[in-house]
């Protein structure tokens, strides 16, 4: 089975990330993040978002998201998110676990983007003692369907939430792809995002993500919360080193741009060389295709791992490691079953 397009998690580490890990492994340094490598990696992130934020490196995006949301809502409150967001569909209740009961309110919207009218309608709902009221908003950039919010689209979601004093979290697991698609990372703090998860794993690092706290008041005892959750690395430099390699080399950006380009090549080929249609706009590194269950099974039988997504379409994800040759191989296989 070929897993080239199963997920951007199926690719290995970018060479610069591996080199960053090797460099980080040299010598003796202070533990628990009090080392130069971890600080340099944090500075690289601060430069990209143009903010004096607190930055911590953790072992997974699920933990990063869930712990972030636990900072923004009490256990008797809830977080608003797109109903296909990772926090709603693929984290096994982790926000509620880390938030000791924090709920999730799913919102509709085409192609992974929250519908601002649906958000406003939910915000206008009366608060009653029998259900968890919203206390925060979670947005995903790029979205689970590969689309990318514009600054104005995010503003329409964030402003009414902030007007009520609620917090805002951004899941940036594929932030590199959003940046490559033209999204300005400096808009994140300007728009009022309180906590950002800055993606590393899908961009070509090891299993590492960064939690970026723009609201520094949230940083009080944050390390205690991470420690209790098993997310404080004693050898923190081995988490931060690959991220530092990616960021200092520029491969975080170039890898995202390459993955997006390969997705565009794949999408164009599907449109021109097959009878299948695209289910969503291709704006980052994911391509969603409408095909029958039989066609999907035949593609799997031909050796290509691809998965049916929540809306019934079949998802193909490109990564920093995707090549033109393998895209063309897949297109040949798709054409053969079309």
pTM: 0.97
Cβ contact 104:79 at 8 Å = yes
Nearest to 73, CA basis, from 189, 162, 166: 166
CA distances from 288 to 106, 118, 123, 148, 323 (A): 21, 24, 31, 14, 19
What is the torsion angle, in degrees rounded to the nearest 10, for the CA atoms of residue 104, residue 163, residue 61 and residue 258? 120
Nearest to 143, CA basis, from 104, 115, 102, 164: 115
| Cα gap 316→309, rounded to integer Å | 10
Residue written as tokens 């994911």?
A: 286
Cβ contact 247:45 at 8 Å = yes
Local mean pLDDT, 10-residue blocks, the chain (338 residues):
96 98 96 96 98 97 97 97 97 96 98 98 95 97 98 98 98 98 98 98 96 94 94 96 98 98 98 97 98 97 95 98 98 95
Q: What is the pLDDT of residue 34?
A: 94
Q: What is the pLDDT of residue 312?
A: 96
| Cα gap 71→78, rounded to integer Å | 12
* Residue 181: how many other CB atoms lie within 10 Å: 20
Q: Give the single-character DSSP code of 112.
A: G
Instruction: Identify the structural domains of the chain with CATH numbers, from first to last.
Output: 15-249 (3.40.640.10), 251-337 (3.90.1150.10)
Residue written as tokens 């393998």?
A: 326
Q: What is the pLDDT of residue 338?
A: 87
Q: What is the pLDDT of residue 329?
A: 98
| Cα gap 133→129, rounded to integer Å | 9
Q: Give the single-character DSSP code of 115.
A: P
* Residue 32: how many other CB atoms lie within 10 Å: 14
Does residue 184 sit in helix, strand or coil?
coil
Contacts of 3 (CB under 8 A, 6+ apart): 10, 305
Q: What is the pLDDT of residue 308?
A: 95
């Amino acid at each position: 089975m070929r897993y080239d397009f199963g997920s951007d998690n199926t690719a290995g580490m970018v060479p610069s990330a591996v080199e960053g890990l090797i460099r980080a492994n040299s010598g003796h340094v202070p533990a628990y993040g009090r080392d130069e490598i971890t600080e340099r990696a944090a500075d690289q992130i601060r430069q990209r978002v143009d903010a004096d934020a607190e930055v911590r490196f953790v072992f997974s995006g699920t933990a990063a998201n869930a712990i972030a949301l636990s900072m923004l809502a009490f256990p008797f409150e809830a977080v608003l998110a797109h109903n296909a967001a990772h926090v709603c569909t693929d984290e096994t209740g982790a926000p509620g676990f880390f938030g000791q009961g924090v709920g999730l309110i799913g919102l509709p919207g085409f192609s992974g983007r929250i519908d601002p009218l649906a958000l406003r309608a939910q915000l206008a709902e009366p608060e009653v003692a029998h259900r968890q009221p919203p206390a925060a908003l979670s947005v995903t950039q790029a979205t689970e369907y590969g689309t990318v919010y514009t600054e104005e689209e995010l503003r329409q979601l964030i402003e009414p939430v902030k007007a009520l004093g609620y917090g805002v979290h951004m899941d940036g697991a594929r932030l590199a792809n959003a940046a490559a698609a033209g999204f300005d990372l400096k808009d994140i703090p300007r728009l009022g995002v309180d906590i950002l998860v800055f993606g590393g794993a899908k961009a070509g690092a090891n299993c590492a993500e960064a939690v970026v706290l723009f609201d520094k008041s949230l940083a009080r005892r944050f390390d205690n919360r991470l420690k209790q959750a098993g997310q404080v690395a004693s050898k923190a430099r081995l988490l931060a080193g690959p991220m530092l390699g990616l960021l200092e080399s520029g491969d975080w950006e170039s890898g995202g741009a390459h993955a997006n380009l390969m997705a565009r090549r794949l999408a164009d080929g599907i449109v021109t060389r097959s009878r299948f249609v695209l289910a969503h706009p291709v704006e980052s590194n994911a391509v969603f295709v409408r095909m029958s269950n039989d066609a999907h099974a035949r593609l799997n039988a031909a050796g290509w791992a691809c998965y049916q997504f929540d809306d019934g379409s079949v998802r193909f994800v490109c990564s920093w490691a995707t090549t033109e040759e393998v895209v063309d191989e897949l297109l040949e296989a798709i054409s053969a079953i079309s």
